[in-house]
């Protein structure tokens, strides 16, 4: 193995000599601790980006992407002694992932600077629930928050039950007067044990669970799960199904962005925008209901294609929707752009430095508002996007305003995509039969949700059931950045910053 080999993801995997044959579409290999540490080097130097890190009984897996070449690979380190060299020790984006691996599997990340539990709040009735042999419940845990010292500092605890209609999580602010000196998040409240429910589940039940990881991204999750299962089983999905899946994914993106644009303005007390965006969002959901029979399009994407042919009138319904949004949206954008009192709140607020977005591999509007161009529809890409024209908007300012503008531009691009899909939609079947493989198979998929890239990794048994499935929400690499972005801002701007990120609690807590 040469140094040059090690500098490439595929080189590292090829040189391991322990490549797993049935892992698709990207390679996976079992590596030595030295090679595991070499990967940590590449991550720490910013040459590669961490796509995910998750546990298995007796092993840890890590998905990597080389942002320059687009090469993706998964490396696995067996940990027979129940420990592995920490990646988070040298590459902070892995810290919370490793804390979660420890909670769920009991593997000890050697050298991890933060050993506090993450998902385990001491409330479960077992310890390390996904380990080969779970232990007894650890009982109530003491959770010390990080400190910030100085004269006049005070703490503000917020949550898990918040004032608005939002998901639960705890925020511990340390403030100096109005200024936030430190924000520390504590998550895990909505941990439902989805990965344990996945284990042993048949594909259709597992697909339903995937669609309930994060309700706002139900299409993206079902799509990522289906793509991973199809990759594992070597199933070709009919082209019409691919295109209709993209149609649903873009509708979901538009609906969420419209909701967020209104909600960010609402958090700056500009309710006019919220009301108008709420009307447009409702129109998108009603169109989705009319076409696909469910407002959020839940359970419409299944392994093998989509559930059913949409309502025959779907073309007309969606063209009318596109016209309506095109007609109304520009004046709302103008309203946002011309309201100085609103801009006063959003411009320069909650700045996320591009270097941090790059280091954490932040996806979606969070990454793209801070100079990171990554979009899973482009790289690695999946059908039908290679046949469609669209821009991936990118800005450098990294503030609330930039994250709002990325959403605005993405709504416009998604409308354009909807139009192209309606024009070019191929005929044919929308579903193909899914046959088990009678052997172990593994697959992975990376799908662009409205929030960023969702990763799904799956291992299927010979009986066609799920042996292990890991679902990594984009929020894992965005939540820690919110802590950085809020620093030095005033407490009253936190809702604005938080909504401009709009990270998922349920997707993260799993």
Partner 1 sequence: MRKLLFQGMFRPPLTEPAPPLSDAAVDELARSLDRAARRRLGRSLAIREIDAGSCNGCELEIHALNNPFYDLERFGIHFVASPRHADVLLVTGPVTRNMREALERTYHATPGPKWVVAAGDCARDGGCFAGSYAVVGGVSEVVPVALHIPGCPPSPTALLKGLLALLEQESGDRKP
**Rule CB under 8 A: which residues touch partner 1?**
121, 123-126, 129, 160-161, 163-168, 188-194, 196-197, 205, 208-209, 212-216, 218, 259, 272, 275-276, 278-279, 281-282, 285, 295-296, 298, 331-332, 335, 338-339, 504-506
Q: Are 357 and 371 in contact (CB under 8 A)?
A: yes
The minimum distance between CB 281 and partner 1, in angstroms, equals 7
Separation between Cα atoms, residue 268 and residue 26, nearest integer Å: 44
**3-class SS of residue 41:** helix
The minimum distance between CB 425 and partner 1, in angstroms, equals 27
The minimum distance between CB 355 and partner 1, in angstroms, equals 30
The conformation of residue 347, written as its DSSP 8-state character, comes to T
Residue among 11 and 159 whose Cβ is closer to partner 1: 159
Residue among 124 and 390 whose Cβ is closer to partner 1: 124
The minimum distance between CB 291 and partner 1, in angstroms, equals 16
Residue among 168 and 464 whose Cβ is closer to partner 1: 168
Q: Are 72 and 63 in contact (CB under 8 A)?
A: yes
* DSSP letters for 306-323: ESSPPPTTHHHHHHHHHH
- Written in H, E and C, the secondary structure of 247-280 is HHHHHHHHHHHHHHHHHHHHHCCCHHHHHHHHHH
Residue among 420 and 475 whose Cβ is closer to partner 1: 475
**H helical segments located in 60-154:** 95-105
Residue among 205 and 431 whose Cβ is closer to partner 1: 205
The minimum distance between CB 353 and partner 1, in angstroms, equals 28
Residue among 160 and 464 whose Cβ is closer to partner 1: 160
The minimum distance between CB 419 and partner 1, in angstroms, equals 25
The minimum distance between CB 102 and partner 1, in angstroms, equals 16
Residue among 259 and 443 whose Cβ is closer to partner 1: 259
Residue with the two structure tokens 């802590």? 483
Neighbour-count burial of 45, counting CB atoms closer than 10 A to its CB (0-12 exposed, 13-18 middle, 19+ buried): exposed
The minimum distance between CB 66 and partner 1, in angstroms, equals 33
Closest CA to 447 of 203, 197, 226: 226
Separation between Cα atoms, residue 293 and residue 274, nearest integer Å: 26
State both tokens at 75: 């490396």
Residue among 120 and 375 whose Cβ is closer to partner 1: 120
Residues in CB range of 81: below 8 A, 6 or more apart? none
Residue among 114 and 282 whose Cβ is closer to partner 1: 282
The minimum distance between CB 325 and partner 1, in angstroms, equals 15
The minimum distance between CB 375 and partner 1, in angstroms, equals 23
**3-class SS of residue 490:** strand
238-239-241-244 Cα dihedral, nearest 10 degrees: 180
Separation between Cα atoms, residue 379 and residue 72, nearest integer Å: 10
Residue among 66 and 103 whose Cβ is closer to partner 1: 103
Residue among 51 and 296 whose Cβ is closer to partner 1: 296
The minimum distance between CB 41 and partner 1, in angstroms, equals 36
Q: Are 284 and 258 in contact (CB under 8 A)?
A: yes
Residue among 45 and 326 whose Cβ is closer to partner 1: 326
Separation between Cα atoms, residue 36 and residue 379, nearest integer Å: 24
**3-class SS of residue 174:** strand
Please, which contacts does 433-436 make with residues 24 or more away whose CB atoms are closer than 8 Å?
Answer: 433/304, 434/203, 434/229, 434/230, 434/233, 434/235, 434/303, 434/304, 435/233, 435/235, 436/233, 436/460, 436/462, 436/463, 436/464
The minimum distance between CB 259 and partner 1, in angstroms, equals 7
């Amino acid at each position: 193995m040469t140094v040059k080999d090690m500098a490439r993801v595929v080189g590292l995997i090829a040189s391991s000599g322990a490549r797993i044959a049935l892992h698709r579409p990207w390679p996976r290999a079992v590596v030595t601790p030295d090679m595991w540490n070499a990967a940590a080097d590449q991550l720490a130097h910013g040459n590669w980006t961490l796509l995910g890190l998750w546990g298995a009984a007796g092993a840890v897996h890590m998905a990597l992407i080389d942002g320059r070449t687009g090469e993706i690979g998964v490396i696995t380190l067996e940990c027979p002694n129940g420990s592995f060299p920490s990646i988070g020790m040298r590459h902070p984006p892995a810290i919370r992932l490793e804390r979660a691996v420890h909670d769920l599997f009991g593997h000890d990340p050697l050298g991890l600077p933060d050993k506090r539990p993450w998902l385990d709040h001491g409330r479960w009735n077992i310890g390390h629930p996904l380990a080969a042999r779970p232990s007894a419940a650890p009982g109530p845990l003491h959770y010390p928050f990080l400190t910030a010292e100085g004269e006049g500092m005070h703490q503000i605890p917020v949550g898990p039950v918040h004032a608005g209609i939002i998901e639960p999580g705890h925020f511990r602010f340390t403030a100096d007067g109005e200024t936030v000196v430190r924000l520390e998040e504590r998550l895990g409240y909505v941990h439902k044990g989805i990965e344990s429910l996945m284990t042993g589940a048949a594909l259709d039940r597992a697909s339903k669970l995937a669609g309930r990881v994060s309700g706002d991204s139900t299409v993206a999750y079902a799509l990522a799960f289906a793509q991973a299962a199809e990759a594992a089983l070597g199933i070709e999905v009919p082209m019409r199904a691919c295109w209709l899946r993209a149609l649903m994914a873009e509708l979901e993106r538009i609906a969420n962005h419209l909701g967020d644009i209104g909600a960010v303005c609402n958090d700056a007390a500009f309710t006019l925008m919220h009301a108008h965006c709420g009307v447009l969002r409702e129109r998108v959901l009603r169109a989705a209901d009319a076409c696909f029979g469910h407002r959020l399009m839940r359970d419409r994407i299944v392994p093998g294609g989509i559930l059913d042919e949409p309502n025959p009138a779907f073309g007309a319904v969606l063209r009318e929707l596109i016209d309506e949004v095109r007609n109304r949206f520009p004046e709302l954008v103008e309203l946002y752009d011309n309201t100085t009192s609103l801009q006063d709140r959003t411009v320069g607020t909650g700045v996320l430095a591009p270097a941090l977005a790059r280091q954490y591999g932040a996806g979606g509007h969070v990454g793209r508002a801070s100079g990171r161009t990554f979009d899973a529809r482009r790289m690695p890409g999946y059908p039908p996007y290679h046949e469609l024209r669209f821009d991936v908007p990118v800005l450098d300012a990294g503030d609330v305003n930039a994250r709002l503008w990325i959403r605005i531009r993405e709504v416009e691009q998604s409308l354009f995509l909807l139009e192209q899909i309606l024009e070019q939609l191929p005929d044919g079947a929308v579903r193909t039969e899914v046959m088990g493989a009678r052997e172990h198979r593994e697959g992975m998929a990376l799908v662009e949700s409205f929030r960023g890239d969702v990763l799904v990794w799956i291992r299927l048994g010979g009986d066609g059931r799920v042996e292990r499935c890991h679902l990594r929400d984009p929020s894992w690499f965005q939540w820690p950045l919110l802590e950085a972005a809020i620093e030095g801002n005033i407490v009253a701007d936190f809702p604005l910053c938080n909504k401009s990120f709009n990270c998922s609690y349920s997707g993260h807590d799993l």
